[in-house]
Structure 1
Amino acid sequence: MVSACHRVTGGNPLLVHALLRELRRGGEAVGPTCEQVERLGSVEIAETVVARFRDRFPTVGRTLDAVAVTGRADSDAALVAGLAGIPRPEAADMLHTLVRCGVLQDSDEGVVFAQPMMRDSFLAALPPSEHDRLHTAAARALHAAGAPTQEVVHHLRHTPRIGGRWAYRLLFDSACAALSRNDLEEARTLLERCIQEGDAADRPELLRLLGYVDVVADAPAAAVRRLRTLEGPRHGDDTAPLTLVVNLVQAIALDGDLDGAERTARAALTGVEPTGPAQEPAAGALAVLGVLGLLTGRPRTAPPLPAAVAARTSWVRCAQAALSALTARTHGGQRAEVLHHARAGLREPVISADVPTTPLRLLLAHLLCEAGEHDEALAACRTLAAAAHAEGARTMAALAETVLAMCGYRAGRLSEAAGAARSALAEGPPGAWLGSTLARCWLGGILLDSGDLDGARRLLLDDLSLTDLPEAAVPDLLFHRGRLHAALGHIHAGIADLEECGRRLPRSPHGYDRHPWRTVAATLYAAVDDRTAAKRLAREELELARAWGAPHAVATALHTLALISNSGHRLSLLREADGLLQDSGAWLEHARVLRSLGHELLRLSKMRQAREQLRAALALAEKCGAGPLVDDLRADLTSAGARPRRVETGLDALTPAEYRTAVLAAEGLTNQEIADRLFVTRRTVELHLTRVYRKLSLSGRADLPAAVAGQVTAADHRSLRRVGTDGPASPPRTARRSTRLRPAS
């Protein structure tokens, strides 16, 4: 604070006392910030300086006002003289005297005020009408003199409408430049000024750009209010209102009112057909309407573009891809078609300063996740989140982080999902909107599986109620709250929430619900000995999952059915679920299935196989960060007669035999060559490599060299070369087990 005061006053006693009087006059209980001090001016100072020099220079007030508005005076005083309405020699003499007296000073940029507070004082004393007049005159003079664009635009920002076409072009070009460097707030200010300066022909393009900025960078509720003020009737072939409608309905949807967004779009697009010059924007707007209809359970088929004309606009193609993918998703049994359209939409190039497509792309990424392509969905979400952060589009960034949390949870990446949800809540726009509400709901579910019951309770029970939520987020809260009730021992409350979740989800004749509420409810019904309801729900889920075709969805339904079925069918159901999850990327669900498979094998007294499944489940649970499941699996392994390893993933998790096999495979040896070197069968080598790939999270043999690079020492190489005489090498672990290796014969 002291340094800020010195910076603005330069230590001048007159200015220091005036600053202190202004601070006392503020009367704030909390002291002002440094930024507030640096912007503080005193009308008293301006009047004192003018009074001191008025006898010698009657126009000193107008001259210093001009210097304050322009920020500087040229060496020839031409600009100041013109603004003050005095001859240039008189202005030059006056500036010279003011410099000698310490009011002004020479700098590299010209003549400026000696202390920043002096300039702020003259600006504070300037009447609004004089302020506008000086800025207008400065803009005209600087433009006529060929001054840099940024100097002219600085004055245009503070002027009323000038009316010259040159003013509009300078403002518009500067707004586009701000968009290109992702300075969205600056772009918004300049575009609003452009609307005042432009004419009717300029309005469509301005509305399009301003609507884009509002949606991606402002709080959704504020964006809705602003965009509604920009609405207007569509005249002739004017396509701008159509893109404005798309931006408006996206803002309404992000505010949590999907029904209101659908009604707004339907009302605005009544009678609109994708023909004529407005063909592509109309087709894109109708596709967005179709998407909203499917999301709200009121589908409406959007007319496609004529076959002879292909859409050239990226956002239109993206919207049509989203509509096609969601339509295929809603009607069930068309997983391949969903994947095709989702990937096509995500491949569309992102064009800045257009209709924002991030919500549509995130919808497509979520559809990929629902279809079982977890890794692909996560990669798409990460890319969209990084791009939005780089652009300064905080609303889109928070939405992308929210969808990343949802997809990360479904894939079992609990740590990444929790981080994304927290980022969405901390860095997104203020207030409650769809993204923040979904982030809270899913963070509660993530914390539940991570073992933080208190955190989950705060998010799902204490801080959220159905009356406070947007309707679109109610099923998400009910699903995770039902699971939380079950974890707290409130089984009937959990069942009630889960069944209400099913009732609140948009209904479709053959579609697979976006929340597997039946599987959770079935296990809860089984817990209260209502086997009839449990089997009914489990079979319904399995039928819908098989029709949908996503491997993880079918596996989850099979797992639930196995848990409530007779023991005679349990093993086959669990093995089928395990097979479906092998390459699904759904780590957490796979860990749960492997645990159940281990329990069933223990019941059948197949101890070695059971321990192998439980170890694999423990490795996946550790990767997921599922603390309660990790603890349960460690207890299971102890009960099964095994001592769980300290870690189940990474190089330290490899057994000596697995490590030797991995090193030799990384050196390029074939399976048969490894078997000959280690005096084992080829089948044993294959089994070792399978476990190595799982523990190191590798997709295949090609990833082995990088995984073991830098870990193999010279002693390891000598041991591997002598394997047959001196014994095999062991992995370089910090806490190596003391198991004695029998030398090969």
Structure 2
Amino acid sequence: MSSSPHENSGTAQLPSLPWPSGREREGDTLTTLLAGHTAVLVTGEPGSGKSEVLRTVVDRARQSGTTVLFAAADRLDGAFEFGVVRQLFEQLLADAPPGAPHPLLDGPAAAAAEVFHPRPPQSATPAQADGAVLGGLHWLTVHLAARGPLLIAVDDLQWADPASLRWLSYLLRRAGGLPVGVLATVGAGAVEPAQRELPATVLQLFRQRVALGPLGGTAVAAMVEQAHGQAPDEAFVRGCRHATNGNAFLLRALLRATAAAELTPTADAVERLDALAPAEIGQAVRAVLANAGPAAVEVAETAAVLGGTPGTDLVAGVVGQSEAVVEDALHALVESGVLRRVGPAVGFAHPVAARALADLVLPSRRQRIHLGAARLLWTQNAPEDQVAGRLLQTTGPLDEDWVNEALRRSAAEALAAGDPDGAVAALRRALREPLPEGERATLLSMLGQAELASCVPTAVRNLRQSLELSQGAAARTSAARRLAMALFATDSYAEALDVLGRTSAELREAGDEHALRLEIDYIYAGLSELATAAAVRPRLWELDLADAGGGAVERPLAALLSLRAAMRGEDPAEAVEFARRALALGMIPADDESIVYNNAVFALGAAGAARTALNYADAAVAEARARGSVLGYAHAISTRANANCRLGRLAECRADAEAALESLREIGVGPHTSHCVFPVTTLLEARVRQGLLEEAEALLAQAGLTGELNLHWANDYVLLARGWLRLAQGLPERALADFLLCGKRSGTRGMAGPGFYPWRSEAALVLVTMGRHEEARTLAREELELARRWGVPEMIGVALRALGTATAGRPGLELLREAVEVLGESDARLRRAQALVSHGAGLRAAGLVEKAREQLRQAVSLAHQCGASVIAEQAMEELRATGDRPRTRTFHGVDALTPSERRVTALAVAGMTNKQIAQHLFVGLRTVEVHLTNAYGKLGIAGRPELSDALAGPTAP
């Protein structure tokens, strides 16, 4: 403190002590204002750092030599007269013990001594005594100011006692020209004229105001870096700022929690911020609420437990108070800065404060709040998901009749909307209630169906229990079929057959029509295994569409019969007609979702209607996606992949097959299961046609398909595709062995027709390379006979090409010419490209160079359209042999992307977020991120903003 009375002409320069983080601008403003000896009021919500800023100003002033009088007002001290004044002059109290004279308390300041050492009242009136005290205190202040610059600082002025406020008002009115600065802080709402604790007349005497608003992004980033010792991602900074709304106290508490949890301040950690609700924040909020009254406390805690922005009517209904009482409490809470109005609703100003306060509410009370909200919403006929959302926050059992109904309705609505996760949550909660066995069986069946979209093994457990508890033919049929579907996905065919067989026999004894529906699935499952195929085939051959009696079973029976027609290979029109009947409601009908319908689509492809098959599969993909059926989506997109392959659309085929495998992986269906074998093999075929032999071999190894294969019929297709790979690898003996084994196995199943597996033609082509022409011609003639009886141009053309290749001279050329013509009548572009190469090669060998070039150029063009680089290269080699110089393609940019990368980037360009893309494609978020990262690298771009231009505007699949 300066001792010279002549050093009071200005405030000494404050040293450059650091301001609280993010408050540098406000601190510098305060420094400038106080240097002018004015009165400054600092405002801001609780936790904004008002006290910290004020104490920094006090510390800086003291270090500069300024005399500082400091007081911190408290609500509990408000009843003590001149309580704040006593704090301001407490050093004088220490220097002047009772009864001892003090120079500052003598003379004009004698009356001020009454504040510190009150004596019995004299003859003066209270008003006169009060005036004398105020005058004495003012003289004392002037005397102190005469010795040097003086700063009077009061924290939380709203809690100051009335007598101290009178003195402060007296001082501010008479402080002009004195080297006295006055600095005070007030809490949220205290600057309003109606504030009871702080008269407006006092507030108006503060000529300057400094408001502490929310901390900005730069300040938050600095605090995060200080807490974690590393620079944070922008997304993490945004997350922290959103959670705390830039409130300094809350931000520090949150960052202590993030540091204790060892979070890395990156975008990946943002979601974990929602789980952090430090107890110290909850206690601080409670301290603020204590000043707002008991009704406000209950309202605030109810709003915190309800979360989000509940309507005021909902809060009032749960609290059980009148709307008027609740409105008064809400007004106080909004004024205090705890809550904010959002139209007819309320929300916490700081999300982390809401979570922290909710955590302090006893669990039993939290349950009562959520149950009360759910009950109120139920009586108001609110949407099912809103009611269920409250019930899911309870632990139960609640034992109220409406609870189970509300949860069941919510689950059904979620399933219909394609939200299986929402359905699973509602059903699991419902199953914690006391239920009759029949109702429990229904809910378990629904739960199993929903879990097929997330975890098939878990679905199996619940579906088993559902079947055990189910009652009635319809319920037992549904439960048995759903369980069998889940068992198929885990390759538990023996158990699936047992479930279907036992339940079907049980219902047949009762004369129930549902027995036939179960038998259809039983026959289909039996055909898939060699061990049971012979046993079910007689029943398959004798079935007739009339057996369905025109009822709902007609469609699945027609699907099975279309498969039978394709297996026999006698009448493609019959196969197509049965397939159309089967698919009247699509490939995955809502009333009868079953894999048996997939086979109707396969039958269409085998019968030469591949484009029709593609249309059905395409519609099924969209339907499964909308319904949220991951297993249905995987089956549908696998089927579409195969149809695309048959049509020579290899890029589309690869994208679909990869999407199917990713989806199956997401729900726990392993890569070695039969459900994965089909998309794996379709992808294998596409890779072989594209010349990606190393990738094809790796795919086989990953799926465990390089050695001896089990007897499931999906592996018949593996043998065919693996034979193509072995031939492309220069291993004709192994290729021939695979083709012949494919024929043996499919023949045992009764698949005489060549529509599915033209193994004879493929084996004949291998035999030609081995010089065994007679054996080749025998197989090719046999297949051509079967193909002509089947009457499908694609299969006839395939057999003609094989026989023409195995036949020397002009007869062979004529067969190859016919193959090209016949295949021109089909949609099998890839097969036609192969025939064109074979015909062109034969013409060149016969010396018909010009005709050869014409055929080979067509082959190159068609092969490139299909994306079949192997066939294109074969055609170009033949062209070079004729003396032609064809140009090869060079692939850059977009052409370097895999099919899956194309799909993901196209959806990103369409505006979907990574999470939306993952949901759309039924894959994990990490999968989407990996595909995008790989695509950015291949396209040579930094990220999304450049993606559209790099892709030249692709369309979303």
Same fold (TM over 0.5): yes
**Where does residue 133 of structure 1 map in the other structure?**
368
**Where does residue 824 of structure 2 map in the other structure?**
582
**Where does residue 401 of structure 1 map in the other structure?**
637
**Where does residue 57 of structure 2 map in the other structure?**
none
Give me the whole-angstrom Cα distance separating, in 2, the residues matched to 1:350 and 1:323.
13
Is the 2:240–2:273 contact (alpha carbons within 8 Å) kept by the matching residues of 1? Answer: yes
Relative to structure 1, the CA distance from residue 42 to residue 305 in structure 2 (aligned partners, 3 Å threshold; closer, same or farther) is farther
Q: State the shift of 1:564 in Å.
A: 2.3
Counterpart residue identity of residue 522, structure 2: L
Q: State the shift of 1:598 in Å.
A: 2.6
Counterpart residue identity of residue 691, structure 2: G
Q: State the shift of 1:183 in Å.
A: 3.0
Map 1:317-396 onto structure 2 (within 5 A): 317-348=554-585, 353-357=590-594, 359-396=595-632
**Where does residue 899 of structure 2 map in the other structure?**
none
Give me the whole-angstrom Cα distance separating, in 1, the residues matched to 2:271 and 2:547.
60
Give me the whole-angstrom Cα distance separating, in 2, the residues matched to 1:496 and 1:93.
86
**Where does residue 480 of structure 1 map in the other structure?**
721
Give me the whole-angstrom Cα distance separating, in 2, the residues matched to 1:577 and 1:73.
73
Q: TM-score normalized by structure 1?
A: 0.76
CA distances 1:124-154 after superposition (whole Å, capped 9, x unpaired)? 3445444333322332244456666554332
CA distances 1:432-478 after superposition (whole Å, capped 9, x unpaired)? 25444432332222122112233223323466445898845433333
Give me the whole-angstrom Cα distance separating, in 2, the residues matched to 1:640 and 1:204.
73
CA distances 1:384-420 after superposition (whole Å, capped 9, x unpaired)? 2232233333332232222222222223222221222
**Where does residue 731 of structure 2 map in the other structure?**
490
| Structure 2 residue 445 is the aligned partner of structure 1 residue 247 | no
Relative to structure 1, the CA distance from residue 233 to residue 9 in structure 2 (aligned partners, 3 Å threshold; closer, same or farther) is closer
Is the 1:559–1:577 contact (alpha carbons within 8 Å) kept by the matching residues of 2? Answer: yes
Q: State the shift of 1:4 in Å.
A: 0.9
Counterpart residue identity of residue 555, structure 2: C
Map 1:163-202 onto structure 2 (within 5 A): 163-196=399-432, 199-200=436-437, 202=439
**Where does residue 696 of structure 2 map in the other structure?**
456
**Where does residue 634 of structure 1 map in the other structure?**
876
Secondary structure at 2:876's aligned position in 1? helix
Counterpart residue identity of residue 335, structure 2: R
* 1:611 maps to which of 853, 866, 874: 853
Give me the whole-angstrom Cα distance separating, in 1, the residues matched to 2:687 and 2:406.
52
Give me the whole-angstrom Cα distance separating, in 2, the residues matched to 1:346 and 1:323.
11
Counterpart residue identity of residue 795, structure 2: A
Relative to structure 1, the CA distance from residue 63 to residue 371 in structure 2 (aligned partners, 3 Å threshold; closer, same or farther) is same
Counterpart residue identity of residue 652, structure 2: E
Relative to structure 1, the CA distance from residue 500 to residue 421 in structure 2 (aligned partners, 3 Å threshold; closer, same or farther) is same
**Where does residue 187 of structure 2 map in the other structure?**
none
Counterpart residue identity of residue 525, structure 2: L
| Structure 2 residue 680 is the aligned partner of structure 1 residue 440 | yes
Relative to structure 1, the CA distance from residue 563 to residue 377 in structure 2 (aligned partners, 3 Å threshold; closer, same or farther) is same
Give me the whole-angstrom Cα distance separating, in 2, the residues matched to 1:231 and 1:332.
38
Map 1:514-553 onto structure 2 (within 5 A): 514-531=756-773, 533-553=775-795
Relative to structure 1, the CA distance from residue 624 to residue 381 in structure 2 (aligned partners, 3 Å threshold; closer, same or farther) is same
Relative to structure 1, the CA distance from residue 287 to residue 94 in structure 2 (aligned partners, 3 Å threshold; closer, same or farther) is same
CA distances 1:206-237 after superposition (whole Å, capped 9, x unpaired)? 4554444344x3344443344234332553x3
Is the 1:209–1:353 contact (alpha carbons within 8 Å) kept by the matching residues of 2? Answer: no
The runs of 5 or more residues in structure 2 that have no matched partner are 1-235, 890-957
Give me the whole-angstrom Cα distance separating, in 1, the residues matched to 2:241 and 2:479.
49
Q: Which moved more, 1:445-454 or 1:392-401?
A: 392-401
Asked which structure has the greater CA Rg, the reply is: 2
Give me the whole-angstrom Cα distance separating, in 1, the residues matched to 2:562 and 2:545.
19
Is the 1:425–1:440 contact (alpha carbons within 8 Å) kept by the matching residues of 2? Answer: yes
**Where does residue 78 of structure 1 map in the other structure?**
316
Q: State the shift of 1:520 in Å.
A: 2.5
Relative to structure 1, the CA distance from residue 467 to residue 192 in structure 2 (aligned partners, 3 Å threshold; closer, same or farther) is farther
Is the 2:776–2:806 contact (alpha carbons within 8 Å) kept by the matching residues of 1? Answer: yes
Is the 1:73–1:79 contact (alpha carbons within 8 Å) kept by the matching residues of 2? Answer: no
The runs of 5 or more residues in structure 1 that have no matched partner are 648-745
| Structure 2 residue 353 is the aligned partner of structure 1 residue 118 | yes
Secondary structure at 1:273's aligned position in 2? helix
* 2:343 maps to which of 98, 105, 108: 108
**Where does residue 213 of structure 1 map in the other structure?**
450
Give me the whole-angstrom Cα distance separating, in 2, the residues matched to 1:309 and 1:631.
52
Q: Which moved more, 1:379-388 or 1:614-623?
A: 614-623
Aligned residues: 637
Give me the whole-angstrom Cα distance separating, in 2, the residues matched to 1:129 and 1:16.
30
Relative to structure 1, the CA distance from residue 333 to residue 508 in structure 2 (aligned partners, 3 Å threshold; closer, same or farther) is farther
Give me the whole-angstrom Cα distance separating, in 2, the residues matched to 1:540 and 1:356.
39
Q: State the shift of 1:356 in Å.
A: 1.5
Q: State the shift of 1:501 in Å.
A: 3.8
Q: State the shift of 1:320 in Å.
A: 0.8
Is the 2:565–2:572 contact (alpha carbons within 8 Å) kept by the matching residues of 1? Answer: yes
**Where does residue 506 of structure 2 map in the other structure?**
271
Relative to structure 1, the CA distance from residue 75 to residue 375 in structure 2 (aligned partners, 3 Å threshold; closer, same or farther) is closer
Relative to structure 1, the CA distance from residue 641 to residue 110 in structure 2 (aligned partners, 3 Å threshold; closer, same or farther) is closer
**Where does residue 288 of structure 1 map in the other structure?**
521
Give me the whole-angstrom Cα distance separating, in 2, the residues matched to 1:594 and 1:99.
80
**Where does residue 116 of structure 2 map in the other structure?**
none
Give me the whole-angstrom Cα distance separating, in 1, the residues matched to 2:415 and 2:382.
23
Q: TM-score normalized by structure 2?
A: 0.60
* 2:798 maps to which of 556, 577, 580: 556
Relative to structure 1, the CA distance from residue 193 to residue 318 in structure 2 (aligned partners, 3 Å threshold; closer, same or farther) is farther
**Where does residue 596 of structure 1 map in the other structure?**
838
What root-mean-square deviation, in Å, do the aligned CA atoms of Structure 1 and Structure 2 show?
3.6
Is the 2:559–2:596 contact (alpha carbons within 8 Å) kept by the matching residues of 1? Answer: yes
Give me the whole-angstrom Cα distance separating, in 2, the residues matched to 1:478 and 1:308.
36
Map 1:650-661 onto structure 2 (within 5 A): none
Q: State the shift of 1:368 in Å.
A: 1.0
Counterpart residue identity of residue 322, structure 1: A
| Structure 2 residue 283 is the aligned partner of structure 1 residue 47 | yes
Relative to structure 1, the CA distance from residue 534 to residue 113 in structure 2 (aligned partners, 3 Å threshold; closer, same or farther) is same
Counterpart residue identity of residue 341, structure 1: F
Give me the whole-angstrom Cα distance separating, in 2, the residues matched to 1:606 and 1:406.
37
Is the 1:542–1:557 contact (alpha carbons within 8 Å) kept by the matching residues of 2? Answer: yes
CA distances 1:216-270 after superposition (whole Å, capped 9, x unpaired)? x3344443344234332553x3411211211222222234444543343223333
Give me the whole-angstrom Cα distance separating, in 2, the residues matched to 1:77 and 1:130.
14
Give me the whole-angstrom Cα distance separating, in 1, the residues matched to 2:449 and 2:282.
43
**Where does residue 67 of structure 1 map in the other structure?**
303
Secondary structure at 2:505's aligned position in 1? coil
Relative to structure 1, the CA distance from residue 615 to residue 47 in structure 2 (aligned partners, 3 Å threshold; closer, same or farther) is same
Is the 1:405–1:442 contact (alpha carbons within 8 Å) kept by the matching residues of 2? Answer: yes
Is the 1:372–1:550 contact (alpha carbons within 8 Å) kept by the matching residues of 2? Answer: yes
Q: State the shift of 1:100 in Å.
A: 3.0
Secondary structure at 2:528's aligned position in 1? helix
Relative to structure 1, the CA distance from residue 445 to residue 143 in structure 2 (aligned partners, 3 Å threshold; closer, same or farther) is closer
Secondary structure at 1:512's aligned position in 2? coil
Is the 2:689–2:869 contact (alpha carbons within 8 Å) kept by the matching residues of 1? Answer: yes
**Where does residue 24 of structure 1 map in the other structure?**
259
